[in-house]
Amino acid sequence: MNLHLKVWRQKNKNAKGKFVDYEAKDISTDTSFLEMLDVVNEELIKKGEEPIAFDHDCREGICGSCGMYINGRAHGPQVGAATCQLHMRSFKDGDTIVIEPWRAKAFPVIKDLVVDRSAFDRIMAAGGFISVNTGGAPDANALPIPKDVQESAIDAAACIGCGACVAACKNASSMLFVSAKVAHLARLPQGKPEREKRVMAMVAQMEEEGFGACTNTEACSAECPKEIPMDVIAQLRREYIRAFAKSEEKV
């Protein structure tokens, strides 16, 4: 199949970017979206032009690095898949595909389609951890956790931190990401000691980074490659209210 691409090209953080047209020729419907870009890049390299920069690592939907906005959708049209899991069979011969980086004040573009997602790292550093003693592995059965609790925690833990929630949200809110992390840890006994501090610190860092506020449009969950459900956001709100109610600070 042959495709017309309109790709956002931007030299560096401070440069003004623009859309550049490329032709992707003889692409098999079995190739993944990233492989299609590889083919285009090889052509560019042959011609002595700068290849299109995009983030990728695992190419199997695990690392969360490959996010891009494809024809108006985060990670493209396929539901429940990261860009690397998107296949060209989702497009038709002759289609025009507009490829843009994530757009959010908190995710500045570094180059072309690559954005700086270190805001997520700083949110994690603010509270997305548990404290455990190092040493020998603990006995697997020392801490019994019911199966349904385990499963709901794992559902939240499926978040790969790709940023599609921010990209798709009209408010550029990272609420689904932060909520997935908060819910994941709050649902397990290991997360209890830092439970109140964690939600307060992570929400504060999220605001500090300049993400928007969630207004429940549910776009995040609809575009999430891991299909993290909206109920994690409700849980974050409950955790936040609870943490405030329990805090020792003067009213």
Interface residues with ligand FES (CB under 6 A)? Answer: 56-59, 61-66, 82-84
Q: Which is nearer to ligand FES, 63 or 222 (CB)?
A: 63
Looking at 34-42, 47-55, 60-68, 199-207, which segment touches other proteins (CB under 8 A)? 199-207
* Closest by Cα among 186, 185, 164 to 175: 164
* Alpha-carbon torsion (180, 174, 126, 55), positive or negative: positive
36 forms part of the interface with other proteins (CB under 8 A): no
Q: Which of 31, 41, 78, 171 binds other proteins (CB under 8 A)?
A: 171
Q: Is 80 in the site for other proteins (CB under 8 A)?
A: no
The residues pairing with 87 across neighbouring beta strands, listed in sequence order, are 32
Least distance (Å) from other proteins to the CB of residue 138? 32
Q: Which of 12, 226, 251, 213 is nearest to 106 (CA)?
A: 213
Q: How far is CA 127 from CA 15, 120, 155, 212, in A?
A: 34, 11, 19, 19
Contact 44/51 with Cβ under 8 angstroms? yes
Residue 103 makes contact with other proteins by CB under 8 A: yes
Pick one of 162, 172, 188, 228: the residue that binds other proteins (CB under 8 A): 172
Q: What's phi and psi for 198, nearest 5 deg?
A: -60, -50
Point out which residues bind other proteins (CB under 8 A). Answer: 6, 8, 19, 69, 71-73, 77, 98, 100, 103-106, 168, 170-173, 175, 203-204, 206-207, 210-219, 222-223, 230-231, 233-238, 240-241, 244, 247, 249-251
